[in-house]
Chain A
Amino acid sequence: MAFDRNGLAAPPKPSKLRWGELDEDDGEDLDFLLPPRQVIGPDENGIKKVIEYKFNEDGNKVKITTTTRVRKLAKARLSKSAVERRNWAKFGDAVHEDVGARLTMVSTEEILLERPRAPGTKAEETKASGDSLAQLTKGGAVLMVCRTCGKKGDHWTSRCPYKDLAQPVETFVEKPATAEATTTKGAYVPPSMRAGAERTGTEMRRRNEENSVRVTNLSEDTREPDLLELFRTFGPVSRVYVAIDQKTGLSRGFGFVNFVNKEDAERAINKLNGYGYDNLILRVEWATPRAN
């Protein structure tokens, strides 16, 4: 074979394949048999389609269509060496990375730098955000009484510096008496139901859903920061979400805002329902709790 190739001025690419040769090189690279890779787009939405063909383990031809959205990154000055590194070949485990591996993903949730208090206010003026127990003590003569160390007017219970030294307060954590009896049997008890576990999880969730406000009839290019800007004036906001179309990347016209305090949410509904925003009239109402 080698002799043949050397002796003749063979064309650079054998356009016709002899079946005899095919059998001999079984298991060799046959990728040149496949149709070429096809790239469509990116279109105006930045959607790019790459159509590739390859052989699977059984030797069948498989067509792989990968749809990706291309986004322009913010302008950045790059050094020469950084640009050069950009074109480095992948190595190690990154060479055999499958299309479906999805090692790198963009978070679906918008993460905010959560301020401990609204900008412009001092630490002393901090609202006892959402802490209904703290609000009960508000009516009393002393505004702040720490339930852990008993200090008055110095800090809230949640900010107590002696928190770890003190025993957990029995009156606020209702421990189910039955749970202790069942654990001895060896039956599984979820961590949240075990004796001594903090049972904040479900309560927090319920509270979050209670103060959730639904905003509809938003304009297409409204984003989470815009919505936050609009609702932040009413009080501390714990979550902002705008439903976004996966394909176009534009807003689907509705979103949710969660307030820390119920009163703030109420005021926001009263003020913003029917408010003109971006040439559309907003509809703001309580979000109906999910049925589950």
Chain B
Amino acid sequence: MRPILMKGHERPLTFLKYNREGDLLFSCAKDHTPTVWFADNGERLGTYRGHNGAVWCCDVSRDSKTLITGSADTTAKLWSVQNGTQLFTFNFDSPARSVDFSIGDKLAVITTDPFMELPSAIHVKRIARDPADQTGESVHILRGHQGRIARAVWGPLNTTVISAGEDAIIRVWDSETGKLLRESDKETGHKKAITSLAKSADGSHFVTGSQDKSAKLWDIRTLTLIKTYATERPVNAVTMSPLLDHVVLGGGQDASAVTMTDHRAGKFEAKFFDKILQEEIGGVKGHFGPINALAFNPDGKSFSSGGEDGYVRLHHFDPDYFNIKI
């Protein structure tokens, strides 16, 4: 396959997200302006100007009309997808790290980093149907994580919120009462900071990537460990194919060590693993730095990766990908 290279960002990529139909690709980077691209040919549709710091995460509503972004300028913003106008700004006292719309787009979960004396927190916000009625009040504020929270997502039927971060523990919270329901086991869980979390297409399980050079697959309801995928480098990004039983891991050595070695030695590939057999299927090379973000098109026929090198690489699979056998 010949990947499409998109050079719209001047700083490292942080997050990638496809909309439900898979025709738009949203990219976030440390350069303050989230960008939307056409996911088939990589043409740039527009940028969302207004943030004043690195943008860490985004999510798009099911109808592809509203975009939410979380940024290091201590705000999360709602945008109109079509023309890039700001609809609302949530203000916090510390940088916003992760954002996620609930099923039905009536709620959103936003996490904030620890800052000065403040601990990290998970905020649950109500999203109004009409942006004019939108308020900044939190329904719940969940505290308990040590260090940064890398990602928080909604569980099945919006009854739970699943969060993971620097303290290497995955937590499940009740979204109604705000109580902590479950924590991942220290024995089976990750040994170092969790960097990424991605749900499966049907929302029944999720995969986490960690600095301890592994990725783990968990049941979303019971939080039991199902599979472990071991690699030889820290995992920065994870995603799952909605079509085949494949898990993709992205990572690489630390940015400080990159110039010390040949780029082929950096292990900057996106690694494909068989979800069930836990065996490596193959790697896709190309980035000149660690991979920070990965996303699968909802049709499962293409995926994109965003790297520390500022490039988004959009890969449309060759036909022989779909009948790979181990």
Interchain CB contact (< 8 A) of B41 among A82, A85, A104: A104
Contact across chains for B2 and A106 when beta carbons are under 8 A apart: yes
A70 CB to closest chain B CB, in angstroms?
Answer: 11
Contact across chains for B5 and A114 when beta carbons are under 8 A apart: no
Contact across chains for B45 and A104 when beta carbons are under 8 A apart: no
User: How far apart sit A108 and B4, CA to CA, in the bound complex (Å)?
Assistant: 9
**Which B residues touch A192, using CB under 8 A?**
260
**Which A residues touch B116, using CB under 8 A?**
none
Please list 5 pairs of residues, one from A and one from B, whose beta carbons are closer than 8 Å in the complex, sorted by A's number.
Answer: A92-B46, A93-B44, A94-B45, A115-B282, A225-B320
Asked if A79 is at the interface of the complex by the 8 Å CB criterion, the answer is yes
Within residues 34 to 76 of chain A, which ones have a CB less than 8 A from any CB in chain B? 73-74, 76
Contact across chains for A198 and B44 when beta carbons are under 8 A apart: no
Asked if B147 is at the interface of the complex by the 8 Å CB criterion, the answer is no
User: How far apart sit A86 and B19, CA to CA, in the bound complex (Å)?
Assistant: 13
Contact across chains for B281 and A104 when beta carbons are under 8 A apart: no
B: residues with CB less than 8 A from A are 1-8, 21, 23-24, 33, 35, 37-38, 40-49, 63-64, 82-84, 232, 259-262, 264-265, 269, 272, 279-286, 299, 313, 315-316, 318, 320-321, 324-326
Given known contacts A91-B84, A104-B42, is B260 in contact with A163 (CB within 8 Å)? no
Given pairs A81-B64, A200-B261, 18 additional interface contacts (CB within 8 A): A74-B316, A76-B299, A81-B63, A85-B82, A88-B45, A89-B83, A90-B44, A93-B47, A94-B46, A103-B7, A104-B43, A111-B3, A116-B283, A159-B232, A197-B261, A198-B260, A201-B261, A204-B262
A: residues with CB less than 8 A from B are 73-74, 76, 78-79, 81-82, 85-86, 88-95, 97, 102-116, 119, 123, 159, 163, 191-192, 194, 197-198, 200-201, 204-205, 225
Contact across chains for A200 and B265 when beta carbons are under 8 A apart: yes
Contact across chains for A113 and B272 when beta carbons are under 8 A apart: yes
Interchain CB contact (< 8 A) of A94 among B44, B265, B269: B44
A161: nearest residue on chain B (CB-CB)? B230
Chain B interface, >50% SS class: loop
**Which A residues touch B8, using CB under 8 A?**
103
A204 CB to closest chain B CB, in angstroms?
Answer: 6
Contact across chains for B33 and A93 when beta carbons are under 8 A apart: yes
**Which A residues touch B42, using CB under 8 A?**
104
In the A-B complex, the 7 residue pairs with the smallest Cβ-Cβ separation, listed nearest first, are A92-B47, A201-B262, A91-B46, A82-B23, A104-B42, A113-B282, A92-B46
**Which B residues touch A194, using CB under 8 A?**
260
Interchain CB contact (< 8 A) of A111 among B1, B6, B45, B46: B1
Contact across chains for B7 and A88 when beta carbons are under 8 A apart: no
A185 CB to closest chain B CB, in angstroms?
Answer: 20
User: How far apart sit A114 and B264, CA to CA, in the bound complex (Å)?
Assistant: 13
Contact across chains for B48 and A113 when beta carbons are under 8 A apart: no
**Which B residues touch A116, using CB under 8 A?**
280-283
Interchain CB contact (< 8 A) of B4 among A81, A90, A93, A105: A105
Contact across chains for A92 and B265 when beta carbons are under 8 A apart: no
Given known contacts A104-B5, A111-B315, is B45 in contact with A90 (CB within 8 Å)? yes
B107 CB to closest chain A CB, in angstroms?
Answer: 23
Interchain CB contact (< 8 A) of A103 among B33, B44, B83, B232: B44
Contact across chains for B84 and A103 when beta carbons are under 8 A apart: no
Contact across chains for A113 and B283 when beta carbons are under 8 A apart: yes
**Which A residues touch B33, using CB under 8 A?**
92-93
User: How far apart sit A198 and B261, CA to CA, in the bound complex (Å)?
Assistant: 6
**Which B residues touch A103, using CB under 8 A?**
6-8, 44
User: How far apart sit A79 and B22, CA to CA, in the bound complex (Å)?
Assistant: 10
**Which B residues touch A112, using CB under 8 A?**
1
User: How far apart sit A89 and B45, CA to CA, in the bound complex (Å)?
Assistant: 8
Contact across chains for A111 and B285 when beta carbons are under 8 A apart: yes
A62 CB to closest chain B CB, in angstroms?
Answer: 24
**Which A residues touch B269, using CB under 8 A?**
114
Given known contacts A86-B38, A94-B44, A194-B260, is B282 in contact with A110 (CB within 8 Å)? no
Contact across chains for B49 and A200 when beta carbons are under 8 A apart: no
B65: nearest residue on chain A (CB-CB)? A81
User: How far apart sit A192 and B262, CA to CA, in the bound complex (Å)?
Assistant: 8
**Which A residues touch B326, using CB under 8 A?**
119
Given known contacts A111-B315, A114-B284, A115-B281, is B6 in contact with A94 (CB within 8 Å)? no
User: How far apart sit A279 and B229, CA to CA, in the bound complex (Å)?
Assistant: 47
A123: nearest residue on chain B (CB-CB)? B279
User: How far apart sit A97 and B46, CA to CA, in the bound complex (Å)?
Assistant: 10
A242 CB to closest chain B CB, in angstroms?
Answer: 12
**Which A residues touch B272, using CB under 8 A?**
113
A241 CB to closest chain B CB, in angstroms?
Answer: 12
A234 CB to closest chain B CB, in angstroms?
Answer: 19
**Which A residues touch B63, using CB under 8 A?**
81
Interchain CB contact (< 8 A) of B282 among A88, A102, A114, A159: A114
